[in-house]
Amino acid sequence: MSDSWRKESVYRDGSLNYGRLALYAIMIFVAIVWGAPFIWMFVTSIKPDTEVFSYPPTWWPDEPTLEFYTRLFDSFPMLLWFRNSLIVATITTALTLATNILAAYPLARMRFRGRKIVLLIILSTFLLPGEILLVPLFLGMIKFKLANTYFSIAVPAAANAFGVFLMTQFFLTIPVELEEAGRLDGCSRFGLLWRIFIPLSKPVIATVAIFTFVRSWNDFFWPLIISNTDATRTVPVGLAVFVGRGLSMRFGVIMASAAAATIPAVIFFLLLQRYFVRGISTTGLQG
């Protein structure tokens, strides 16, 4: 404790260490720049109508009010959009986990013909800009009368290869001896996966689950084009297309909508921070 305190302190040998002081100043500046937009969004959303455009800007309203939230939920089907986002993200996440775990097992632990080619094709899609897929997927969904369904929004996202990659890498690190022992006990391949690999891979499974969920929750381009009814529209699309559109003088309501969409995500993040960090730092993929 005392040692770490000395390392972190701006004093060294009893005198001020200007280098460290500067680092602290920069760090505080960084925290303000990245934190202020959130606070500003929230503060604007609880201001009374008269105070939104007050100049100079005020960082706390004289009379905080939830009026904008009332107006938001009265004018837009926010709760319905929330429900849709939740359903879509859950379908994508469940499908991703089930298929990726199964696919990662042979890729990491079995020798079979075509293994290298399968891996190469899957990994090469990391470099594929998704725009090329939009037209065929859109026409396909229209053709099979699947536009405006949860299926059409949720399922294509589960084809993403990042989870397979991450889980394959993790499965490779599980000791072979455990697998051999399981096999001597008469476990089938599926039994090995179920009883040995999955229990040992909980952290990476959680990482993939959380990552996929957030990616799906925030996905924008594809839901924007494939759903045009409130019955399936997700939160980001609802915000961008309705709440935020050409309503330049209604920043209070708009900020209330942004806050309503953001606060659950922020709480989710604060609870599960370490999984995000692990997911990004092991794959370099950012959702």
Partner 1 sequence: MSSPAKNKDKRATSPWISIKNDLIAYAFMAPYLFLFVVFLLLPAIVGVYASFTKWGIIGQPKWVGLKNYNKLINSDIFIESLQNTLYFVVLAAIPLIVLGLLLALLVNQKLRGRNIARAIVFLPHVVSVAAVGIIFQWILERSSGLLNYYLGLLGVNPPINWLGDPDSAMPAIAITTIWWTVNGNMIIYLAGLQDIPEDLYEAAKIDGAGRWQELRYVTIPMLMPVNAFVIPLTVIACWRVFGQVFVMTRGGPQGSTFTVAQFIYETAFVNFNMGLASAAGVILMLITLSFTVIQLRAMKVI
Encoded one letter per residue, x for contact with partner 1 by CB under 8 A and - for no contact, window 94-133 reads: -x--xxx-xx-xxxxxxxxxxx--xx-xxx-x-xxxxxxx
Residue range at the interface with partner 1 (CB under 8 A); choices 64-72, 160-168, 195-203: 160-168
Nearest CB to partner 1, comparing residues 186 and 284: 284
DSSP lists the bridge partners of residue 15 as 12
Which residue type does 67 have? Answer: E
Cα 169 to Cα 251: distance, rounded to the nearest angstrom: 46
Closest alpha carbon to 227 in 154, 157, 131: 154
Cα 63 to Cα 47: distance, rounded to the nearest angstrom: 7
Residue range at the interface with partner 1 (CB under 8 A); choices 65-73, 196-204, 274-282: 274-282
DSSP state of 10: S
DSSP, residue by residue, 38-106:
HHHHHHHHTS-GGGTT-SS--SS-SS---HHHHHHHHHS-HHHHHHHHHHHHHHHHHHHHHHHHHHHHH
Q: Which of 67, 77, 149, 189 binds partner 1 (CB under 8 A)?
A: 189
Residue range at the interface with partner 1 (CB under 8 A); choices 68-76, 199-207, 252-260: 252-260
- Residues 109-128: b if buried by 16+ CB within 10 A, e if exposed: beeeeeeeeeeeebeeeeee
Q: Does 4 bind partner 1 (CB under 8 A)?
A: yes
Q: Does 66 bind partner 1 (CB under 8 A)?
A: no
Q: Does 136 bind partner 1 (CB under 8 A)?
A: yes
Q: Does 236 bind partner 1 (CB under 8 A)?
A: yes
Nearest CB to partner 1, comparing residues 40 and 60: 40
| Minimum separation from the CB atom of position 65 to partner 1 (A) | 18
The three-point CA angle 42-44-45 to 5° equals 65
Q: Does 70 bind partner 1 (CB under 8 A)?
A: no
Q: According to CB under 8 A, which residues from 71 to 90 bind partner 1?
A: none
| Minimum separation from the CB atom of position 230 to partner 1 (A) | 16
Residue range at the interface with partner 1 (CB under 8 A); choices 67-75, 171-179, 195-203: 171-179
DSSP lists the bridge partners of residue 11 as 16
Q: Which of 66, 135, 181, 198 binds partner 1 (CB under 8 A)?
A: 135
Q: Which of 11, 30, 60, 70 binds partner 1 (CB under 8 A)?
A: 30
- The pair phi, psi for residue 15, each rounded to 5°, is -115, 160
Q: Does 194 bind partner 1 (CB under 8 A)?
A: no
Q: CB neighbours of 266 closer than 8 A, spacing ≥ 6?
A: 38
Nearest CB to partner 1, comparing residues 28 and 66: 28
Number of residues that bind partner 1 (CB under 8 A): 114
